[in-house]
């Protein structure tokens, strides 16, 4: 893995002499602007694996996106390579249906320490809850960012991140009541403890989120990317383009359903990929067996004494 490859992936061309806040903010912003938050692998017969080399190949070299366990794990490697002091933490996401935090850590973030001050770096929450720049961990402080005001609260042990946004203005009347439009002005996002977590802590959760029918990620395909003026998202069959409008304290939503032909194509493609994967594995195994048998036969033929005699006779004939 090469840090310069990552820099090219996010479009970072600056120079850095030491790990400082300005560079961290720049890299953080470029990541969310160029690498999508998405769970498309789950719906294409692929598996999301907590292995850094595989994640690097997927996101950096294949120019894909990923969900939090991929994006923020990759970002922890970037922090390490750039010389930042960081700690990986686990978060319990707030469940609006249950009006409580989920019982397990399903979100991964990084806490970065700079000049004795801790900051939260999270490059993979997606859609309207995505922070663009790290948040200094000062309880109750308002952090104004393009998508709204983020705030960290602390009760002595547990930290909670909440966001105050703006009024959504949906341009298409047919989508006014869509559950994809978050009408809450202030919302709780997730909570976390300052307990360092390793990759192993998230493996079971990663498996649950991509296999359990109750998981949001198995129920709907999600892909979102931040833009200089807002964000774009394709959730299920609904495409949204959101423009932040802080002057009027609103966010403008342009929403439309994806064309039926594209839906049919996506279904057929998913079926094809799902069916192809086991078949590809079988054919690969057959090819390996045939190759080994061919190589073994060729080697035995070459070392056979009779073969050498025939080769010598043929050589003598051609020399005459």
The residues annotated as belonging to the active site are 68, 107, 122
d(CA 98, CA 163): 19
Contact 50, 199 (CB under 8 A): yes
Hey, what are 122's tokens? 């999270």
Q: What angle do CA 10, 31, 148 make, to 5 degrees?
A: 140
Which class for 273: exposed (0-12), middle (13-18), buried (19 or more C-beta within 10 A)?
Answer: middle
d(CA 29, CA 11): 11
d(CA 106, CA 92): 6
- Chain centroid to CA 290: how far? 38
Contact 106, 216 (CB under 8 A): no
End-to-end CA distance of the chain: 59
Q: Is 190 helix (H, G, I), strand (E, B) or coil?
A: strand
SS3 content of the chain, % helix, strand, coil (to 5): 40, 25, 30
Closest CA to 51 of 156, 202, 234, 168: 202
- Dump strand ranges (E) for 155-307: 159-164, 167-170, 186-192, 222-227, 230-235, 238-245, 250-257
d(CA 124, CA 106): 12
Distances (CA, A) of 198 to 44, 90, 288: 28, 9, 37
């Amino acid at each position: 893995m090469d840090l310069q490859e990552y820099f090219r992936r996010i479009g970072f061309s600056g120079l850095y002499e030491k790990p400082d806040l300005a560079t961290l903010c720049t890299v953080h912003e470029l990541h969310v602007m160029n690498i999508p938050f998405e769970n498309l692998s789950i719906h294409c017969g692929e598996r999301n694996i907590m292995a850094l080399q595989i994640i690097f190949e997927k996101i950096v070299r294949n120019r894909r996106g990923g969900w939090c366990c991929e994006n923020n794990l990759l970002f922890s490697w970037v922090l390490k390579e750039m010389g930042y002091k960081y700690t990986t933490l686990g978060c319990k996401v707030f469940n609006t249906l249950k009006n409580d935090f989920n019982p397990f850590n399903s979100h991964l973030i990084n806490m970065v320490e700079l000049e004795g001050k801790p900051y939260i770096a999270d490059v993979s929450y997606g859609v309207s809850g995505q922070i663009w720049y790290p948040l200094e961990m000062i309880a109750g402080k308002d952090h104004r960012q393009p998508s709204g005001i983020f705030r960290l609260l602390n009760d002595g042990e547990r930290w909670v991140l909440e966001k105050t946004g703006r009024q959504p203005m949906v341009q298409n009347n047919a989508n006014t009541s869509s559950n994809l439009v978050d009408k809450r002005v202030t919302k709780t996002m997730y909570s976390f403890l300052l307990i360092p977590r390793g990759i192993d802590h998230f493996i079971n959760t990663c498996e649950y989120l991509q296999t359990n029918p109750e998981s949001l990620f198995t129920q709907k395909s999600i892909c979102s990317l931040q833009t200089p003026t807002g964000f774009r998202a394709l959730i299920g069959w609904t495409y949204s383009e959101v423009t932040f409008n802080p002057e009027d304290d609103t966010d403008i939503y342009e929403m439309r359903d994806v064309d039926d032909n594209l839906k049919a194509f996506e279904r057929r493609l998913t079926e094809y990929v799902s069916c192809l994967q086991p078949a590809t594995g079988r054919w690969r195994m057959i090819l390996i067996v045939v190759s080994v048998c061919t190589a073994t036969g060729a080697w035995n033929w070459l070392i056979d004494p009779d073969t050498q005699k025939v080769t010598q006779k043929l050589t003598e004939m051609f020399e005459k």
